[in-house]
């Protein structure tokens, strides 16, 4: 007698396809790639705001630490540019692996919030959901750099829905879903006018 066992299917993951993870050989290699591909460039958000990348944000973007304490940006960057020993440095592997997702999060954000966290630098938070296991949301905090009068990336990391609630204030200030809904309404009204 044959026993029939139903096959369990994994629930479909919701979100955009996950970009590739970055796997650089060293912190210096990762910094060189960041400098070559992002420093001095910007990503334009759905509202037309340009968000710039600066070299001094690199240590915070990967949560770089020196001997167990937060690494000072200028010292760490100079050290990395000289290809000095990295033995006293540590970083957040997940932040480093998803560092180059940041432009996509800004350009194709699912929503933009006001920062509701008191200790994380930034006044706006860009959020994008990826179809992947674990923390499905990638968040990017930004603020205006007063000296340059430009919006810059301050930090970024992955979180889940529950974690997001700790970082943002209530409803988004912009949402792709709301944008799609308003476009549908406008198109629907235009189509109705054409019929008359």
Length of the chain: 196
Distance between CA 32 and CA 54 in Å, rounded? 13
Distance between CA 57 and CA 41 in Å, rounded? 13
Q: Which residues touch 186 (CB under 8 Å, ≥6 apart)?
A: none
**Residue 83 — pLDDT band, cuts 50, 70, 90?**
confident
154-176 tens-digit pLDDT: 999 999 999 999 999 779 999 99
9-54 tens-digit pLDDT: 555 668 888 888 888 889 999 999 999 999 999 999 999 999 999 9
DSSP code of residue 30: H
Distance between CA 29 and CA 19 in Å, rounded? 20
Distance between CA 36 and CA 38 in Å, rounded? 6
In 3-state terms, what secondary structure has residue 185? helix
Residue 156's φ and ψ, nearest 5 degrees, are -160, 145
Residue 82's φ and ψ, nearest 5 degrees, are -90, 0
61-77 tens-digit pLDDT: 999 999 999 999 999 99
- Global pTM value: 0.83
Domain segments of the chain: what residues?
16-190
DSSP code of residue 158: E
């Amino acid at each position: 007698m044959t026993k029939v066992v139903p096959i369990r299917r994994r629930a479909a993951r919701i979100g955009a396809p996950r970009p590739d993870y970055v796997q650089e050989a060293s912190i210096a290699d990762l910094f060189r790639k960041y400098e070559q591909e992002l420093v001095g460039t910007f990503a334009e958000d759905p509202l037309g705001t340009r968000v710039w990348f600066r070299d001094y944000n690199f240590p915070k973007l990967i949560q770089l630490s020196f001997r167990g304490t937060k690494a000072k940006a200028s010292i760490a960057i100079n050290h990395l540019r000289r290809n000095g020993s990295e033995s006293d440095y540590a970083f957040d592997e997940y932040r480093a692996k998803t560092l180059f997702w940041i432009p996509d999060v800004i350009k194709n954000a699912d929503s933009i919030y006001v920062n509701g966290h008191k200790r994380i630098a930034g006044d706006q938070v860009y959020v994008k959901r990826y179809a992947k296991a674990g923390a499905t949301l990638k968040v990017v905090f930004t603020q205006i750099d007063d000296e340059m009068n430009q919006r810059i990336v301050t930090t970024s990391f992955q979180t889940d829905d529950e974690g997001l609630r700790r970082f943002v204030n209530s409803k988004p200030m912009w949402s792709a879903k709301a944008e799609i809904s308003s476009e549908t309404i406008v198109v629907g009204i235009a189509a109705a006018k054409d019929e008359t």
